[in-house]
Amino acid sequence: MIKLHVLRRSQDGFVSLFTAIMISLLLLVITVSLVSLEAVQLRKSEDSEQTLRAYYTAEAGVEDAVSKVLNNPTNRVDQDCSNPALSANASFDIPGAAGWTCQQITFSGSPKGTLTTPDMAKTIDPGHVSSPSSYNSVIVQWNDSAAAGSYSVPAGNLPSQAGYAGYAAPPIEMAIASYPSAGFKANDVCGPNQVPPACSVQLQNALIVPRGTGVGGVVNFSTLLGHGQWDGNCGALGRAYTISGNNYTADYNCYAVITNLTGAHDYLFRIRSKYLPSSYKMTFMTGATGGGVVVPVPDGTATIDVTAKAGQTYRRVVTKLPLGPGAEASLNYVIYSDTDVCKNFSVIDNVAPPPNSGC
């Protein structure tokens, strides 16, 4: 009887101990979970605070760059990150705690913008570009809309404004003035139906019409004279395409490559969107058919790109500062006609039109 009682007490003790251990384990799990959750909260808080500090440090780097640009209006030299003495400030905040690691300032790029109303035009004057290389073709991209509609206008006469309903991208008219980089005289201006080498200053027009994705989107500058409509490669945003070996993902609905430009000439472009508003971008390329590498041209802005670090957190801020004259800031008034018009450029004051001008 006594034995049985002792055994029972021993069993009770074991059960109590086992219960205590189980409760302890449960509490341990709950405690560890809570501590882990709070540790995550702490880390998130620290991260967000460092991110904030890095962001405002990067903003300070941008403001510093703006100050540099505005205080040196005649010095438009790009600043890259190769010289830390100019482009970095590791001790902006408490020394070593926060600062910018790279402050890049560039004054050129690929001109882009928006033609906000139908038939609005914009002049792109890249000037003479020879460094790092001249350009030999231009990729013109336009319209970045996801609107429903057709991207293929049937061949033949262009519909009227009223008849253009249902199309998702507008036709683009490019007027291209070409002149020798080395300079020219009044007599060098091409007359009607005249092409180089008989003359060297010419104004040509190209009407580029959306034709779907099945066409190459090529505008050959050397055969512009007398040519009808040109085909623009147009389709949905995000599609993949290749131009002379370079692969692209479409940020714009349409593109066409103006080919066979020459580094011996300079060009002035006027882009006009017919019937619909449109965004546009012009990318100048070294290759004659749209290939090669991008040639940055003055685009009238300073692009400021700053990367800053606070603790172990990096933040990058990129901004554009509008400046004075650039590729898009000149010649906003020209004579325009949808039919034949006699265009007489007074290249030099008080000089009579050349005999072959036809005017």
Q: Which residues bind another protein (CB under 8 A)?
A: 13, 16-17, 19-21, 23-24, 27-28, 30-31, 34-35, 37-39, 41-42, 44-46, 48-49, 52-53, 56-57, 59-60, 63-64, 66-67, 70-71, 92-93, 98, 321
> Phi and psi (nearest 5°) for 50?
-65, -40
Other C-beta atoms within 10 Å of 143: how many? 25
At 223, the amino acid letter reads T
Residue number, 32 or 334, with CB nearest to another protein: 32
Q: Are 336 and 203 in contact (CB under 8 A)?
A: no
User: What's the min distance (Å) between Cβ of 284 and another protein?
Assistant: 29
Task: Enter the DSSP assignment of 150.
Answer: B
Residue number, 49 or 78, with CB nearest to another protein: 49
Residue number, 79 or 233, with CB nearest to another protein: 79
Sign of CA dihedral 269, 275, 279, 284: negative
Residue number, 44 or 239, with CB nearest to another protein: 44
Sign of CA dihedral 204, 205, 208, 214: negative
Residue number, 19 or 346, with CB nearest to another protein: 19
Reference 279, options 170, 156, 154, 204; nearest CA is 170
User: What's the min distance (Å) between Cβ of 108 and another protein?
Assistant: 21
User: What's the min distance (Å) between Cβ of 5 and another protein?
Assistant: 19
Residue number, 25 or 147, with CB nearest to another protein: 25
At 35, the amino acid letter reads V
The C-alpha atoms of residue 76 and residue 71 are separated, in whole angstroms, by 11
The C-alpha atoms of residue 252 and residue 350 are separated, in whole angstroms, by 45
User: What's the min distance (Å) between Cβ of 89 and another protein?
Assistant: 10
User: What's the min distance (Å) between Cβ of 224 and another protein?
Assistant: 43
User: What's the min distance (Å) between Cβ of 65 and another protein?
Assistant: 9
At 312, the amino acid letter reads Q
H or E element, residue 247: strand 246-249
Q: Are 220 and 256 in contact (CB under 8 A)?
A: no
User: What's the min distance (Å) between Cβ of 41 and another protein?
Assistant: 4
Contacts of 325 (CB under 8 A, 6+ apart): 300
At 50, the amino acid letter reads Q
Compute and round to an integer the Cα radius of gyration of the chain. 33
Q: Are 280 and 142 in contact (CB under 8 A)?
A: yes
Residue number, 47 or 78, with CB nearest to another protein: 47
User: What's the min distance (Å) between Cβ of 137 and another protein?
Assistant: 37
Residue number, 24 or 223, with CB nearest to another protein: 24
